[in-house]
Amino acid sequence: MTQQLALVDCNNFYVSCERIFRPDLARVPMVVLSNNDGCVVSRSNEAKALGVKMGQPWFECKALAEEHGILAMSSNYALYADLSNRVMSILSEFSPRHEVYSIDECFVDLTGMPQLRELSYHMRERVGKWTGMPVCVGIGPTKTLAKLANHVAKKHPRSQGVFNYNALTAEQKNRLLQRLPVQEVWGVGRKLSQKLALHGVLSAHDLREAHTPTLRAEFGVVMEKTQRELQETACISLQELPTDKQQIISSRSFGSMVTDLPVLKDALSMFVANGCAKLRAQGSHARVIQVFLQTNRFRKDLPQYMPSLTVPLPYPTHDTLEVNRWADYLCERMFKPGYAYKKAGVMLSEITPVSQRQGDLLEPETTSNTRLMQAVDALNQRYGRGAVKVSTQGAYKDWQMLQARKSPHYTTDWQEVPMV
């Protein structure tokens, strides 16, 4: 039986989230900006038509925005995460086998189900009716072809948001792949497509028919897997459960330059809290902590300093208090006055399950705060992240992100729920 793998992708996800509670913006060209309102990370179709590019710095778009009335919004991650969870919950009702691939994409296995086209339209209708989120559905025998089918569903109005690659004849499949540039293939992109062009591979069809040994020798086994996926041989399996992270990085660019040590410690305290919460959520602990500081590398008129220190912990831990003490110590070691810091972060590595614990003959084991951390996580889950935090966290606002254009927390804050 041919695998019927559907990729359900939310259209212009961040922009669509903003429009759900602002129907007056339905036809307005708009974009959503990254941290500190820096770059464009989501565009409406109207903004795309005006020439706004993905990842383009916002200051480069201001003249175009003033001319055409393009509305810019700051990222509202709490809103986006909540709406994503609602969409994924709805999609999980259509099949017991599904994979949440990203915040706005989900693979759903529809193999063996009748009337796939009607089912796909029903899927779109339910997500749209229950959440207001527009989605497109692409169906294929492999993940790569499902991605391409979703691209067709988005770009061609005749598909009405649903495209089934498996329903095509062999001749129709050839014609479709010949029309699709190779850079539209999942995992290829612009830079790799330029290298493939040197070997005469310009379309998805060219990649499917390329000489496999040469392709593997030049581009590695990953490209061979992509080719076999285009040949309808599944090489990338469905991951129904997320794998545990082997490395956790928590970092952020500051809203304004930071020159004081207490402010840096305050920021690192929040990063440690977020990283350790992720460790506990997956039942793991870390043995190594790395702390780094960075000045603004784009400001050539300022002195540059980008230190980093790594320390192996005496015992693996997920205790926020313990890791925070080490982060403070490393920050004090690296800090130098006279520099304006723009970014800082914490990286936790050598992550293992809590059931695996290697002792140290020369280092006495410290008392674990497991019950305390469990209580903190339970309270934060009930009342919102940051409801309970370390005393050194949140004392300073100088480093917080710039979000001058942020929308309300429509679905995650009782004080900001829309009134009808």
Per-residue pLDDT of 254-286, as tens digits, reads: 888 999 999 999 999 999 999 999 999 999 999
pLDDT more than 70, % of the chain: 97
Q: How confident is the model over 328-344, as a mean pLDDT?
A: 94
Q: Residue 109: what pLDDT?
A: 95
Average pLDDT over the chain reads: 90
Q: Residue 361: what pLDDT?
A: 66
Q: Residue 364: what pLDDT?
A: 66
**In terms of pTM, does the model score above 0.95?**
no
39 DSSP assignment: B
Q: For residue range 64-97, what is the model confidence (pLDDT) as tens digits? A: 999 999 999 999 998 999 999 999 999 999 999 9
Q: Residue 387: what pLDDT?
A: 82
Q: For residue range 125-184, what is the model confidence (pLDDT) as tens digits? A: 999 999 999 999 999 999 999 999 999 999 988 889 999 999 999 999 999 999 999 999
420 or 176, greater pLDDT:
176
The region of weakest confidence among 33-37, 349-353, 361-365 is 361-365
CA angle 75, 55, 204 (to 5 degrees): 120
Phi-psi category of residue 109: left, alpha or beta, with phi > 0 → left and psi -120 to 50 → alpha:
beta
CA 20, chain centre distance (Å): 21
Nearest to 224 by CA among 121, 144, 151: 144
Q: Residue 185: what pLDDT?
A: 93
Domains in the chain with CATH codes: 1-164 (3.30.70.270), 168-243 (1.10.150.20), 248-355+368-383 (3.30.1490.100)
Q: What are phi and psi of 57, to 5 degrees?
A: -60, 140
Top mean pLDDT of 56-60, 190-194, 306-310, 409-413 is at 306-310
Q: Residue 359: what pLDDT?
A: 66
Check pLDDT > 90 for residue 323.
yes
CA 346, chain centre distance (Å): 18
Q: For residue range 234-251, what is the model confidence (pLDDT) as tens digits? A: 998 888 677 788 999 999
Q: Residue 133: what pLDDT?
A: 96
Nearest to 293 by CA among 255, 248, 333, 323: 333
Tell me the angle at which helices 13-20 and 77-91 cross, rounded to the nearest 10 degrees: 100
Q: How confident is the model over 12-19, as a mean pLDDT?
A: 95
Check pLDDT > 80 for residue 119.
yes
Q: Residue 365: what pLDDT?
A: 66
Q: Residue 36: what pLDDT?
A: 86
